[in-house]
Amino acid sequence: MELTYNKLLILRAIERLSQGNEFRMVHRKTIAEYLGRSLNMVNRLLVELKKMGLVENPVKGGWRLTEDGRKLLKKLREEAEGKYQKTSKGE
């Protein structure tokens, strides 16, 4: 399975919405409302992300990033920052 734009949006939403939450979990309905997407779409993508090992749902309705999911977002953020720095320096 590939990491699509919508899957990345869900990962970033979970990251943002779970900040300050002791268990770092977010309800799927909260994710759908935050992104302005349908609950059905969010459910489907969460299942796909779970199969990819990027999210988990240890309790009913509660979703959080796995260690692999956090590492992936960190890597993508660092790559984007590196590209920005290169273009801003005129390289």
Q: Could you tell me which residue, 87 or 5, shows the higher pLDDT? A: 5
The model carries a pTM of: 0.87
Q: Could you tell me which residue, 28 or 88, shows the higher pLDDT? A: 28
Residue 82's pLDDT is 77
57-83 residue pLDDT tens: 999 989 999 999 999 999 999 998 876
What are the angstrom distances between the C-alpha of 21 and each of 16, 33, 57, 69, 85?
Answer: 10, 18, 15, 17, 32
Domain boundaries, the chain: 5-88
28-54 residue pLDDT tens: 999 999 999 999 999 999 999 999 999
Domain range 5-88, its CATH number among 3.20.20.80, 3.30.70.380, 3.40.50.20, 1.10.10.10: 1.10.10.10
Residue 68's pLDDT is 97
**Across the strands, what pairs with 69?**
none
Tokens, residue 22:
């002791």
